[in-house]
Amino acid sequence: MQTSNLTKFAWLSIGAAIATMALKGIGYYLTGSVGLLSDALESLVNLAGAIMALSMLSVAARPPDEDHPYGHGKAEYFSAGFEGALILIAAVTIVYAAVPRLLHPKPLEHIGRGLAFLVIATLANLAVAIVLLRAAKTHRSATLSANAHHLLTDVWTGLGVLVGLAAVAVTGVQRLDPLVAIAVAVNIVWTGWRIVRESVYGLMDAALPRHEVLVLQGLLEPYAAQGVQYHALRSRRSGARRFVSLHVLVPGEWTVQQGHDTLENIEADIRRALPPITVFTHLEPLGDPAAMNDQDLHHADGV
């Protein structure tokens, strides 16, 4: 699936945010629960995040051009970072709304009806989050992954509010509502921080994860039987696409055609194993001292 087709998942997230925000708003109107108010505010944040996701997925889908020869995939990391920041802001907003109610508790009303609206909204968020997580894993989308985890924080918030409202209904202790809201806010801070951190790693051209590097190394091992070696294996991610470069050393007596055919086979093996991926290879002769002088990561900078 092309990145442009992923925008349908962003539209799904937008629809879910609008629907759940309305449901939780009604629940807050009926009960006066600060937990529900905080949950409704987070749904507003979800809507902003989903709109940002739609925008960045559209940018990421643009083909390479003269100014962006490697494509626009990194736009996804901006969306992911934005989502993570919104989650952190939502946590602060929840605490800000809960503390006054903790200091000056007020009785809740129509708790049963409020719970019903909240249950529907929470189940809707959970269903959409599962769909987005599967799509993110299939298409390696940082944007959809961040948006899905954002929705999951909303699910956790909803569950927390459900517990708080139920506890108030059973015990009559009004302070349980804001206490649960604060506990939920603390819990989702970790999710926001993790998403921001991962988006920064992507923008900083972090290498592929260790298990994918091991896949690359495993693909190259059989070529050693042909007298082929490699070094300067480097990798990075840009949105859903991977980039890999390596130097391939072949026996000096090989013809150019033999060396070229070997590079073509290596590149094809890598493309089959880790799509979508762009592979750059550089052919060098074994035994040439100059071929061993370019292994260092800083060689190109003269450092």
Q: Does the structure show a pLDDT above 80 at 151?
A: yes
pTM over 0.85: no
Q: Does the structure show a pLDDT above 80 at 288?
A: no
Structure tokens at 218: 């495993």
More confident residue, 260 or 192: 260
pLDDT at 140: 76
Phi-psi group of 132: left, alpha or beta (phi > 0 → left; psi -120 to 50 → alpha; rest → beta): alpha
Task: Return the H-helix or E-strand segment holding 251.
Answer: none
For residue 302, name the pLDDT band (cuts at 50, 70, 90): very low
Sign of the CA dihedral running 247, 253, 256, 262: negative
Mean pLDDT of 219-224: 91
pLDDT at 220: 93
pLDDT tens, position by position, 114-143: 778 888 888 988 999 999 999 888 887 878
- Decide: 20 and 46 in contact? Cβ < 8 Å: yes
- Decide: 244 and 277 in contact? Cβ < 8 Å: yes
- CB hemisphere CA count around 171 (13 angstroms): 11
Residues in the chain: 303
Q: Does the structure show a pLDDT above 90 at 64?
A: no
Secondary structure (3-state) at 108: coil
Going along the chain from its start, the domains and CATH numbers come out as 3-203 (1.20.1510.10), 210-301 (3.30.70.1350)
pLDDT at 1: 43
Q: How far is it, in rounded angstroms, from Cα 171 to Cα 296?
A: 67
Q: Does the structure show a pLDDT above 60 at 300?
A: no
Q: How far is it, in rounded angstroms, from Cα 149 to Cα 90?
A: 14
Q: Does the structure show a pLDDT above 60 at 3?
A: no
Q: Does the structure show a pLDDT above 60 at 196?
A: yes
pLDDT tens, position by position, 42-57: 677 778 888 888 888 8
Mean pLDDT of 290-302: 59
Top mean-pLDDT range of 7-21, 48-62, 90-104, 256-270: 256-270
- Decide: 118 and 24 in contact? Cβ < 8 Å: yes
Q: Does the structure show a pLDDT above 50 at 2?
A: no
